Amino acid sequence: MADDSSILNASTISAFMEALNEQYQLNLPTSFEEGTTFSEIWQMAVQVTQSTEPDLLYQAITNIAFNFAPGLDGKVFINVLNADEK
């Protein structure tokens, strides 16, 4: 099994995407233009855990709520699924 410590130790969404890119040879975005909503989201602190579910590899959730729009607060929640052929 590959070493996934960089994924599990990611502290921001940006670092999480970068670690996933390195581990699985993906091309996920690691940054966005400064001052955009996505740029703010990608810098948010995140907690990554390894899933115990069979088709779910990792889960990442932000530690704080983010104001997406007036009156619409939410948290970012990311699931990384296992897409291997069975």
Q: What percent of the chain lies above the pLDDT cut of 70?
A: 86
DSSP letter string over 20-75? HHHHHT--------TTSHHHHHHTSBEEEEE--STTEEEEEEESS-EEEETTEEE-
pLDDT over threshold 90, residue 67: no
pTM over 0.75: yes
Question: Could you state, in order of their start, the residue ranges of all structural domains in the chain?
Answer: 5-81
Confidence of residue 66 (pLDDT cuts 50, 70, 90): confident
